[in-house]
Structure 1
């Protein structure tokens, strides 16, 4: 068994599972519906695919080496997280405390309700885009992958095939972990969608997204 690959798998698992903006946006959208949560989750995995592809191609080095380009991504990422966080907090402030009642959760009830929604496809596309942009506009990800992946390429081995394998491990884990989070949130939906709990969760995720966006913008100003 490849010891370095096993070590990287452990590092990647911790990196993917660590709660952050990706986790927050998946949980927030999964509170609305299973479809929204899963679509957001695959959007996050798509964003990771972009980062790993850039690292493999060496383009992440360009992003890191050109301060103006890096700062642009940081500005866009911070602003987008602030936007998502503000939307969540405004939604909490406007929603009456009893407006989101528990709904039955199960294969017999959840799917038809989602299919019948006239905006289902649009909502799915929007959630997919939210997940993708939340991850793709994270300016720290290119730096992380650029510094992490080469450390797990054994000396004497061709770099490209190995880096592609490592990138596939990261994306594969994200494609399993985030949909699992969305499905768990939906599975616990009867409890999580109680008005008080739902408001508290949405407020918490909104505050987290706002804080993360504010940190990115503050780092840009103070740099």
Structure 2
């Protein structure tokens, strides 16, 4: 692995691990069950794959060039994250894992939608990746390699978060602890949703 790839891996790991809506929604689902947490983490990976594809195809540049489109996506993403936050705060005592398709289907969708509806992810990827493409090197193969690195880091990190929360689940699911964690998670998701909405609404 060359020096640029090592540096890119470090930068990407820092960006992926930064607490945000993705992290919070994984914790929220992992408190339900290990399966739900892992499914949510996989959904986030699928959402990130969308951003990677858009950046490789240059669509992210269009988002940057058309502020109205970017703001519209921010609003949609903000509303969804805000909805998750409000739903979390409405929960009373600890959660009970769903059965059937929803035990993985719903968390998978939540992870995917939370990540895919955040246009900042595409712009972040688009702004970081070009710095690690050597001058004169074929852009597409290098970009795809960098994209795979980001995707791998995201899958490993969010799976690790889900497994850690599940490992601590016996303590976290105690009534008092569950209420506290659910409240913190709900407040965090609500704050992230409001933050996503504040930018585009203030710009109007």
Q: TM-score band (shorter)?
A: over 0.9
Runs (4+) of structure 1 exceeding 3 A deviation are none
Structure number, greater radius of gyration: 1
For the residue of structure 1 that corresponds to 2:137, the secondary structure is: coil
Give the Cα–Cα distance (whole angstroms) in 2 for the partners of residues 211 and 189 of structure 1: 24
Q: Mean Cα displacement is larger for which, 196-205 or 163-172?
A: 196-205
User: Structure 1 residue 100: deviation in Å?
Assistant: 6.2
Match of 2:105 in 1: 125
Match of 2:158 in 1: 178
Aligned residue runs from structure 1 range 56-205, under 5 A: 56-91=56-91, 95-96=92-93, 119-205=99-185
Aligned residue runs from structure 1 range 37-48, under 5 A: 37-48=37-48
Structure 2: runs of 5+ lacking an equivalent: none
CA contact (8 A) 2:72 2:200 kept: no
Structure 2-normalised TM-score? Answer: 0.95
User: Structure 1 residue 199: deviation in Å?
Assistant: 1.0
Instruction: List per-residue Cα deviations over 1:55-112 (Å, max 9, x = no partner).
Output: 0111111122112211111010100010000000011xxx24xx669xxxxxxxxxxx
For the residue of structure 2 that corresponds to 1:120, the secondary structure is: coil
User: Structure 1 residue 137: deviation in Å?
Assistant: 0.7
CA contact (8 A) 1:73 1:137 kept: yes
Give the Cα–Cα distance (whole angstroms) in 2 for the partners of residues 14 and 202 of structure 1: 26
Match of 1:17 in 2: 17
Give the Cα–Cα distance (whole angstroms) in 1 for the partners of residues 159 and 175 of structure 2: 24
Instruction: List per-residue Cα deviations over 1:101-140 (Å, max 9, x = no partner).
Output: 9xxxxxxxxxxxx7xx6x3322311110000011011121
> Is 1:55 equivalent to 2:35 in the alignment?
no
Match of 1:222 in 2: 202
For the residue of structure 1 that corresponds to 2:60, the secondary structure is: helix
Aligned length: 203
Give the Cα–Cα distance (whole angstroms) in 2 for the partners of residues 182 and 24 of structure 1: 10
Match of 2:2 in 1: 2
CA contact (8 A) 2:31 2:95 kept: no
Match of 1:109 in 2: none
CA contact (8 A) 2:43 2:109 kept: yes
Structure 1: runs of 5+ lacking an equivalent: 102-113
Give the Cα–Cα distance (whole angstroms) in 2 for the partners of residues 125 and 222 of structure 1: 35
CA contact (8 A) 1:56 1:164 kept: yes
The root-mean-square deviation of aligned C-alpha atoms, in Å, is: 1.5
For the residue of structure 1 that corresponds to 2:22, the secondary structure is: helix
Give the Cα–Cα distance (whole angstroms) in 1 for the partners of residues 79 and 192 of structure 2: 10
Structure 1-normalised TM-score? Answer: 0.87
